[in-house]
Chain A
Amino acid sequence: MVISEADTTKIVNSLRVRAKELLESGEVKVIIGYGEGYTKGKAVPVFITDPGKTDQLIFDARCVNNLSMYLKHAEIKAMGKVGIVAKGCDARAINVLILESQFKREDIFILGVVCEGVGDPIEEQCKSCVANTPPVYDELFGEPIENQGWNDETFAKIEELESMTQSELWNFWVKEFDRCIKCYACREACPMCTCTRCITDKNQPQWVPTSPHSDGNYHWNLTRAFHLVGRCVGCNSCERACPMDIPLSLVNWKLIKAVHDEYEFIAGMDAETAPPLATYTEGEETDFIK
């Protein structure tokens, strides 16, 4: 299924018109969407409050960022009701955030956009997208298309890692994490990192070593991973943001696979299904707690 150029133009035009109406009527105070970047060819997040400026909005395969991460920022919350342009992965993140009581469904207006994948060439995770059509929206832009869905290739790299011996795996990750400079771009780009004070920023006591040495880097990256189990929507924002090119998606997709294998759960497909790792059902096995 291919969205034609004409359809893309139609999507962008109707997005601009609707965004204008929403701002003019006062239904939303700000539209978070994509616009042209300062660097030629890059699309960037834009924040439009003036109804006369919705022509800035664009939508195409360059619109890689998961905009839902801005919903946690105090500056955005202070602006009033937000209208947000959301691809499938953004919309899934929004579902998780609603489920986790970060905000209420009615606090935002979701301009859902049908997305065939982002990046040039198309990013890996998009080839296995389970939400080409956003699972939640107030208004949908573009005709719904069939999801790519998971396929034989989706977990190929994870299975490769799983076939390594423990020491091979250890060495693989030590080498990758060694490049970490603790800039926390992975954390800040992630819609799921909603803690107002991250565990690494808690220093009385200092739970996670802040140093970018092997120990500190391993601590941080594993802590990040554990906090994403059953929550990560696989949007790849963290890996894309990492200036040191650490393959964080390999961590994320291992978690996505584990959660699906154990609980048949995929995060963010709706805002009702109880997240397996934040739920306790009476009678469930607890003998692993010693």
Chain B
Amino acid sequence: MALSIHSDDFQTLLDSLREAGYRCVGPARDGTITKFKPIEQAGDLFLDEILTTVSPKEFFLAEHEAILSYRMKGKSDIELTTPSKEEYAPPTLVFGCRPCDAAGPDIVKSVMTWDYDDRFFLDRADSTVIAAIACVEADEACFCTSVELAPDSQTGADILLIPSSNSTGDTQEYSVTAITEKGRKLIDSTKGWKDGNPERASAIDEVKSNLKPSFDPAKVREWLDNGFDHEWWNTATLSCIGCGTCTYTCPTCHCFDIVDEGGQSEGVRVKNWDSCMMSLFTLHTSGHNPRPLKSNRFRQRIMHKFKYYPDLFERILCTGCGRCQRHCPVDMALKGLLEQIGRLAAETPDQVAAG
């Protein structure tokens, strides 16, 4: 049976989620920025923006979390506590993210189950349901169609809401598709959903056809295979200021740092986001830094996303959300750089590494 939901029924959904034991996080304002926040009132949902300032990544890979606490009870008696799954991975619905954000955790899961099972990430992925809303708008930073995704792709989503042509001012009806069993279960245990198959808004297909792929990731990967020492890296990355904005707002960047905070009697081991764009990231204890220059670091970021990760997992570590371009203080657009690589690849089909 085809399903739908109307924005007038969001409050019913939210109330029933609470009753069913879920917390709901959705796009909301925080001062002048927008981010995913716990939502109890439907009026706090802010669904009009193309994309929130930060992605919902933090509900899978926390920006900051304690993974272990220690306390000295006696001279040699140490009490160690690890957080329980109930504490750090409560049943959650991520509601109203864009398909590019929904794809993020699904892509990152490959590395989180690779050589080591990251239980913090996996437990959260397990207890979280993602209900994405297809895009009726895109801006020039968007490039999902260049990385095998689309304004209405289902990748990573458990439920997909497709805006219908039935909208009046502030209200909107959506057709609803349960993509996974987890999504189906959530729909079955909550309220606000209705039978019906409202007509798909034409804007979605307009966005889709206007958003032509601007580079071919396979060609980019081929160029990267031999392009490690190419002169291009040095000139293309001169304007990078070396901050972590691109990596921290990215839905797929997943590097973290582990730090001990505390003293002799008690303390916590914490896990924080880290960024390959910062020189400290690779600084060895010896003082040697294998990536001393910003061109080295920028190359690493592109290589990781478009070569190393695809080499290992056959997936591109990028969802084309474009946040790295929107928030970069100097407009270092990843999309633009990949287009440049695409052109370099076309110029030198049998490219041999330069330099």
Contacts and interface: CB of A to CB of B under 8 A. Distances in A.
Contact of A189 (B235, B243, B247, B295): B243
A212 B64 contact: yes
Interface in B186-240: 234-235, 238-239
A105 interface: no
7 contacts: A38-B335, A46-B239, A75-B234, A206-B261, A210-B272, A212-B272, A243-B53
B273 interface: yes
B249 A243 contact: yes
A209 interface: yes
Contacts of B247: 183
A47 interface: yes
Interface in A171-195: 176, 179, 181-185, 187-189
A252 interface: no
A226 B141 CA distance: 37
Interface string A54-65: 000000000001
Interface residues of B, number: 44
Contacts of B280: 201
Interface string B49-66: 000011000000001100
Interface stretch (B76-84, B129-137, B155-163, B326-334): B326-334
Contacts, number: 112
A243 B239 CA distance: 18
B141 A39 contact: yes
Interface stretch (B14-22, B29-37, B93-101): B29-37
The 7 closest A-B pairs by CB, nearest first: A185-B243, A241-B329, A38-B336, A183-B244, A188-B243, A37-B331, A188-B241
Nearest to B241: A188
A183 B324 CA distance: 12
A245 interface: yes
A73 B294 contact: yes
Interface of A: 37-40, 42, 44-47, 65, 69-70, 73-76, 176, 179, 181-185, 187-189, 201, 206, 209-213, 216, 237, 240-241, 243-245
Given A39-B325, A241-B245, A243-B249, A213 B64 contact: yes
Nearest to B249: A243
Interface in B291-348: 292-295, 325, 327, 329-331, 333, 335-336
In this complex, the member of B249, B279, B330, B336 whose beta carbon has the largest number of chain A beta carbons within 10 angstroms is B330
A156 to B, nearest CB: 19
Contact of B63 (A38, A181, A237): A181
Contact of A183 (B239, B248, B261, B294): B248
A75 B293 contact: yes
Contacts of B241: 69, 185, 188-189, 241
